[in-house]
Amino acid sequence: MKLTYVYCIVRSARRPSVPRVPPMPGADGIRVMSAGGGLWLIVSDVPVQEYGEDALSRGLHDLQWVGRRAMAHEAVIERFLKARAVLPMKLFTLFTSDERALNHVKRHSRRIERVLARVDRQLEWGVRLTFDERAGKSADDGASKARSAKAARAETGVGYLSRKKDLRDHTRLRLAQARSAGERWYRVMSRQATAANRRKALEQTEHGSRLIVDAAFLVPARRSTAFRAEVRRHARDLSAAGVAVALTGPWPPYNFVSSSSGRSS
């Protein structure tokens, strides 16, 4: 028995072509189904043995199993980034038939239209800012090396502790400055986006490196190049504060399609 696996909903004036990427593991292929009104469902037939509730229960315990399917799901959706709008489905959105899938979309059509309007001709970009404590230190290495070479032989225990404390205070100051720079950056970039979204970044990523901003931006597709150039321009200023900038994208608008997200900044 086959189930209908739904990857995404696409808004397009013309029928989109079948993407030339592998479908979900175990699927026969990828189909494009008309939902009317310029909406299309991108689907696959998948066997119930691999995607029924029992199979999913087992599979969800295995990160490799999930990972493979997450990649396949994402790869299909990404083929529609150039469409007018694409709504990514959550992984494992499954129906017992095509008809049930279409009926469900019809029942939720008002909500779907609202979300489609929000992401119309937009792309999502992800940016992470990290402060590297060691990068902050190395900027002063020259001066501190000279100081410590001079003081090395004459240093007392108190001198040593005092120097260590100065270093810690200095790092804390650098971190505070990096955080301020990150906040300012986020405010500036948010104003240039249709919408912006932040995750609370409280955790330390690795020893010596701290995630200070974890953000997603919804940007008109026609402004992609300009937006990326802006991010790179700011990256140069931020690196002086020991802040590294990592840009990813374009993404399907995952951060702007749930009912609680997509608020403009």
Partner 1 sequence: MLGDEDASLLDIVDNVLNKGVVITGDITIALAQVDLIYARLSLLLCAADRVLPSEDPDPMLRRRARRARRAPANRGA
Residues that bind partner 1 (CB under 8 A): 3, 6, 9, 51-53, 56-57, 60-61, 63-64, 66-67, 70-71, 73-74, 78, 87-96, 100-101, 104-105, 108, 112, 115, 126, 199-206, 209, 211, 245-252, 254-255, 257-259
- In the complex with partner 1, the residue whose CB is nearer, 60 or 173, is 60
In the bound complex, what is the minimum distance in angstroms from residue 64's beta carbon to partner 1? 6
- In the complex with partner 1, the residue whose CB is nearer, 68 or 170, is 68
In the bound complex, what is the minimum distance in angstroms from residue 250's beta carbon to partner 1? 7
Contact 2, 95 (CB under 8 A): no
- In the complex with partner 1, the residue whose CB is nearer, 151 or 246, is 246
In the bound complex, what is the minimum distance in angstroms from residue 29's beta carbon to partner 1? 20
Residue with tokens 């019809």: 106
Contact 29, 19 (CB under 8 A): no
Tokens for 110, please give them. 């008002």
Residues in contact with 170: Cβ distance below 8 Å, sequence separation at least 6, in sequence order: 136, 137, 140
Helix axes 224-240, 157-191, angle to 10 degrees: 160
Residue with tokens 């299909």: 76
Sheet containing 2-11: order of strands: 31-36, 39-47, 2-11, 94-95
- In the complex with partner 1, the residue whose CB is nearer, 92 or 265, is 92
In the bound complex, what is the minimum distance in angstroms from residue 257's beta carbon to partner 1? 5
